[in-house]
Structure 1
Amino acid sequence: MRVVQVLTQSGGGPVDHAVEVAVGLAGRGIDSHVVAPPDVRRRVGGSAGLTWHDQEATSKRDLAGLAGLARLLRSLAPDVLHLQDRRAGWVGRGLARSLPRTAVVYTLHGVADGLSDHVVGNLLADRRRRRDRMYYLHGERWITRWGRARVVSPSRAVADFAVHHVGLDPSRVDVVPNGVDADRFRPGPQAPSPASSQTSSRAPSGTGARPSLVWLGGLVPVKRADVLVEAVALMREDVEVLVAGDGELAPEVRALVAARLPESVREQRTVTLLGHVTDPAPLLQQADGFVLTSAAESCPMALLQAMATGLPAVATAVGGVPEVWGPVAPDLLCPPGDPRALAAALDTLVADPALRADLGARARARVLSTYTTEHCLEGLLRTYATARAERTR
């Protein structure tokens, strides 16, 4: 069976997920291909068993790139075409009827920011645009039916959006949660056991003796790094927060840190912007906890990576996050956009080493039971089999 994963993005959770899926399929003896911008292969360094195809399609206006992508997909003639972002989804589903022997699967990783509040728990992450309904509701419904595609959602929350707002047939929507490589993302050697943490805490990675928390993501509006900074300014406990990520809002976040956390409080509470971090695993292994402040999410890879590393988390109760983190620590789920609630939850976590160790152990156990790459692959293979059976009818 030849399976082709298609990406038009160069970074972010969907890219990490798609590459891990492709590697896992190759490990199972499947003829696994990745079509993606060259930056993806350069960042990953290639992978044994995978066949890579460099192809850029930088926007809807990049007609040459989109045409090249279409030609490449036709030439590969896959048994399963798995489309991993919106732009790839439009091209691949549009081509589906010219690929009569190819089963088409599209992963709806999330919802456009202008429609994000249509998903339970999410805030509106950006201004409502007139074209959003045309593209992401009516257009999604039409192109999915045209391409006879199966749709995968990483969370029940986004699957419900696909059915109740987009109008997709629920029998063609599968919930397959994202998975994480639990060997790559594993606790560091100094991770404490719950018993040993009654009197001591893991030594933090930063300066001083303050607990160290990691925030991981793009500095873009939907991730709400501003709420993180405001919450740290309101905290009672000493803490160091390391922000791993870059993006358009980096100058604004840096200015907010300087304004809300002046020199006079930096011995107690700091937020340090690290910029883009190529491999977050070592950073997570040295931390005491994790923070997620998004206004909207589905099944965030960053949270899964932190949980697999044995980190407790404070997270906003958006989209599929309660499905992932709620069974571990519902009291550490916060309303999005509320720095006071976030500060209170962070104080609870930072003040109690034993709680951190207990929740960290439970977090990793939850990943091992439900959210590994192997769990994800099993779900996707079921979807692939169903899609191929439907294609032959």
Structure 2
Amino acid sequence: MTTPASGRPLRILQVMRAPVGGLFRHVADLSVELSRRGHQVGLVVDSLASDSQTQDKLDALSSNLALGIHPYEMPRLLGPGDAIVPIKLGGLARRLGIEVIHGHGAKGGFHARLAARPKPGSGVYYTPHGGVLHFSTTSTSGRLFHRLERLLMRRTSAIIFESAYAQATYSRAIGKPTCATSVTYNGLREDEFDPVWPEPDAADFVFIGELRRLKGVHVLLEALARVLNTAGRPATLYIVGDGPDRAEFEAMAHDLGLSGQVTFAGAGPARQAFRYGRCVVVPSLAESLPYIVLEAAAAGRPVIATRVGGVPEIFGPAAERLVPAGDAGALSESMQRVMSEHSIAAAEAVMLRGYVRENFSSARMADAIEALYLTAIG
């Protein structure tokens, strides 16, 4: 444990809804880093989203949460219960002597900012994580959430965006924030920068993620049908993940004559999955700041990704290598290039790993957010 930058530990409450995906990964990493710095952290989560896997994640995190885990009912859509949670949250913050409340995602940010400030001089922060940015400006729920966002700015010490893309999207959809803002990138732990080498019998490519059309798996399958490996044979693909469109993608692979080239392996840890392919492909049609791109780059794997969301910010000076989303032809060309130019792809992976290490560490992320917390409490 290190000495807090404030000279004394802050009492911090992180608020989120479902503890899943990149949002939970961010909150968990931030909580661990803050705890290591001597701060006392508590976590509020949705009691309705609990399952065995969720509970395992929370149990693993609990040792870094000196102020405990507090479940409340937080349905994804707005409802009558949302009038009660901020009252309970405000009471909890007062009992725990909270100085900083940080809401994550649409619901977490809503409740964190609507709750009464626990004490004068306390700070209230909000990180959208995509969340409200994904609501349509023409839908009833989208218009309602966007109106709430504008109203809640006055109760916000600062909005912390995970990418410049998210900041620009927020300003377009909702309006330029009237509170302070910051762009603070998600970060990875130091051990995640250890290289991961492919198995001798690894596939040419690996996809890791949820099996739904938004992730571009159908585009990847179409592109794969056009790619040959270095031996002049059809390239192979290892798919790690599950989701609502898995059956559709399996049928598509069969119809394209790819059954012998594509393996659907089911869900599994990303870092382990990097061993099953020589190049990681992220063909998403939309993203915010995807952890899978950060993780693959940190592991030293060649990465092919689409130009969506904050992905260009991850690639930095190499952003020109990104592929237009939904373009199977351009994707196949990029995949063929990796097959044909192994040494160049390997050199590019080394450079990308270095750039990510310099700009996307969890310590750097915590430094920036801790500094913002301290600004609010003076």
For the aligned pair, the TM-score class normalised by the smaller chain equals 0.7 to 0.9
- AA at the equivalent of 2:338: L
Contact 1:57 1:69 in 2 (8 A): no
Match of 1:108 among 128, 131, 142: 128
Please say if residues 13 and 302 of structure 1, whose CA atoms lie closer than 8 Å, have aligned partners that are also in contact.
Answer: no
Match of 1:88 in 2: 108
Against the structure 1 CA distance between its residues 64 and 170, is the aligned structure 2 distance closer, same or farther, given a 3 Å change threshold? closer
The 3 A distance-change label for structure 1 pair 169 and 66 is closer
Q: In structure 2, how many angstroms separate the alpha carbons of the residues matched to 1:65 and 1:164? A: 27
Match of 2:243 in 1: 247
- Is contact 1:182-1:308 (8 Å) kept? no
The aligned counterpart of 2:164 is 156
Instruction: Sort the Cα spacing of 1:284 and 1:369 in 2 relative to 1 into closer, same or farther, 3 A.
Output: same
SS in 1 for 2:318: coil
**Residue number among 340, 343, 362 corresponding to 1:373 in the alignment:** 362
2:6 aligned residue: none
CA distance in 2, matches of 1:66, 1:230: 48
Q: What TM-score results when the alignment is normalised by the length of structure 1?
A: 0.81
Name the CA distance, whole Å, in 2 between partners of 1:103 and 1:187. Answer: 39
Distance of aligned partners of 1:358 and 1:88 in 2 relative to their CA distance in 1, 3 Å threshold? same
2:228 maps to which residue?
236
Structure 1, unpaired ranges of 5+? 116-127, 192-201
Once the 2 structures are TM-superposed, how far is the Cα of residue 180 of structure 1 from its aligned partner? 1.1
Q: Decide which moves more: 233-242 or 366-375.
A: 233-242
Secondary structure, counterpart of 1:17 in structure 2: helix
Identity %: 25
Counterpart-to-counterpart distance in 2, 1:70 and 1:311:
47
Q: Is residue 2:116 matched to residue 1:134? A: no
1:46 counterpart residue number:
60
In structure 2, how many angstroms separate the alpha carbons of the residues matched to 1:151 and 1:64? Answer: 25
- Verify: 1:274 aligned to 2:265, yes or no: yes
Residue 167 of structure 1 corresponds to: 175
Which structure 2 segments of 5+ residues have no match?
1-9
Question: Does structure 1 retain, via aligned residues, the 8 Å contact 2:186–2:365?
Answer: yes
The question of whether the paired residues in 2 share the 8 Å contact of 1:74 and 1:99 is answered with no
Cα distance in structure 2, aligned partners of 1:386 and 1:162: 23
CA 1:72–1:373 in structure 2 vs 1: closer, same or farther (change >3 Å)? same
CA drift at 1:183: 0.4
Q: Matched residues in 1 for 2:365 and 2:129: separation?
A: 14
User: Structure 1 CA distance, aligned partners of 2:213 and 2:327?
Assistant: 15
Per the alignment, residue 4 of structure 2 pairs with none
TM-score where L is the length of structure 2: 0.84
Matched, 1:75 2:71: no
CA distance in 2, matches of 1:35, 1:239: 46
* Aligned 1:284-363 pairs, distance under 5 A: 284-328=274-318, 330-331=320-321, 333-363=322-352
Which structure's relative contact order is higher, taking Cα pairs within 8 Å and 6+ residues apart?
1
Amino acid at match of 1:327: P
Amino acid at match of 1:8: R
User: 1:173-188 counterparts in 2 under 5 A?
Assistant: 173-188=181-196
Q: Which residue number corresponds to residue 195 of structure 1?
A: none
Counterparts of 2:57 and 2:314, CA distance in 1: 28
- The answer (yes or no) to whether the contact 2:14–2:101 under 8 Å persists in 1 is yes
Structure 2: which amino acid aligns with 1:29?
G
- The Cα of 1:12 is off from its aligned counterpart by 1.0
Cα RMSD of the aligned pairs, angstroms, is 2.6
Cα distance in 2 between the residues matched to 1:370 and 1:222: 27
Larger deviation: 96-105 or 296-305?
96-105
Q: Which residue is 1:122 aligned to?
A: none
Asked if 2 retains the 8 angstrom alpha-carbon contact of 1:159 and 1:175, the reply is: yes
Offset from partner CA, 1:188-239 (integer Å, 9 cap, x none): 3xx4xxxxxxxxxx54554xxx42x332222234322221222212323343
Shift of 1:322: 0.8
**Alpha-carbon distance, 1:144 to partner:** 2.5
